[in-house]
Amino acid sequence: MFKILRQQRLWCRLPAGIGMMLSGLQSAPLSADEVTITARYTGNGVNFENTTPQAGFCVTWPQNCVGRFTVALPIIYNKKAVQGAPDARDRYFMRVPAPRVVTVTSTENGTSYPVTFEFRAFSQTVIISSGGIYSNPVFTRYPVGCRYLMTYGTHVWVQYLWGVPNPQSPASCSSSAIGSPAETVADTSTRAFGIEYGLSMPSPLRMKHGLYKGQTTYTVGPGADFDLGNGVTNLNSPTVTLNFELEVNHAFVLDFPPGSERAVLEPPNGWLDWVNRGRKPQRLYREHPFRIWSSGPFKVYMRCDQSVGEACAIQNAQGHEVPVQVALSLPETITHSGTPVKQLPIPTRETAALVFDSLAPTLNRQGRLHYEVAREHAGEMLKYPGTTYSGSVTLVFDAEL
């Protein structure tokens, strides 16, 4: 959360006999059947960084987790798996849920975004009571309905990793032991459930700063969202809840050179044309460069000590006022209403603030502030030689939105 107020000091002195000065524009504990999926954005790059602890199978097969999102699920159960059963649900069986759209909502301002969650692979450790490794129903390279990825085990337990061929519409997966006669029943105990998942998230560049939370609950058991087939006992919970937490911490820094709180307004080519030839200046003008770091939306407006209409004003001792337009130019990675920001006038009311979006992170790029008294108003000021015009404006760069 950032709000930067920048007060500018500007002045302009006319040659002797004409003298004019512009002075001063200025969470609760989780239950056993819950797991939290986290990601964060800190202003680097264009995507969220996954911060969810990896699933256990990543220890066994780390090469299968590089660049992928995984998480352990608290699902434990026993199952009787019938070797070669005509009904696949009587074999070792699993069907993961279809994709879901989960709404995540800011805890600070109530803004919501959709997140799509899908299952791409899953792993379990399956323990058998007797018979050795060849009697374990998941010790196979040929699961039906899923893509074999990895298997590892001993005579007591086998850990497997199967891919979901079509995450948009997951099919059921089943398997049988390769070394047991037909109709042999294997008493299995399943532990260490882990998944690889896909998470389609909104662009953090367009999200407001803050913490976004969402939640969805899946049923677990025969015929449930996580369908475990027939013969399931000792299921630890009929549901598993996934909590989502997306943290957005945008970078927002402005760096002005020393002395830039004061700007001298002059004609573009100085005062010689007025002094030597009596030519009125086309305008009084000054630019101030600055450096900006930004990775998210922000808004800009200004506050005036005195104003003329919708513009800030400067005034001399006789009470004569003229408007000063203050405008902003920003790098091409920042847009306003989808267009580049080039000398865009800054409004004087917060309700009319300019709102900017990021196309990509802006890191140490140059922006400019432009101050201008238009020709007709500069001509009016020349009627008051030797006086000083002054005023102040406060520029507000607000990333709190």
Question: Could you report the per-residue pLDDT of 192-219, keeping only the tens digit for each?
Answer: 999 999 999 988 988 888 999 999 999 9
179-217: burial string, b at 16+ Cβ within 10 Å, e else:
ebeeebebebbbebbbbbbebebbebbebbbbbbbbebe
pLDDT confidence of residue 29? 42
pLDDT confidence of residue 146? 97
Report the predicted TM-score, pTM, of the whole model to 2 decimal places.
Answer: 0.76
Which is nearest to 23 in space by CA: 315, 302, 374?
A: 315
Note the maximum CA span of the chain: 112
Which is nearest to 102 in space by CA: 198, 6, 207?
A: 198
CA 159 to CA 190: how far, in whole Å?
10
The string of DSSP letters for 52-75 reads: SPPPTHHHH-GGGTTT-EEEEE--
At 274, give phi and psi (nearest 5°). Answer: -75, -40
At 362, give phi and psi (nearest 5°). Answer: -105, 115
Q: Which residues of the chain have pLDDT under 70?
A: 1-32, 275-277, 400-401
CA 154 to CA 59: how far, in whole Å?
17
Q: What residue ranges define each of the domains in the chain, with the CATH number in brackets?
A: 3-26+261-398 (2.60.40), 34-248 (no CATH)
Which is nearest to 295 in space by CA: 10, 72, 48?
A: 48
As to burial, measured by CB atoms within 10 angstroms (0-12 exposed, 13-18 middle, 19+ buried), residue 68 is: middle
pLDDT confidence of residue 276? 67
Long-range contact pairs involving 222-227 (C-beta distance under 8 Å, separation at least 24): 222/89, 225/97, 226/75, 226/94, 226/95, 226/96, 226/97, 227/93, 227/94, 227/95, 227/172
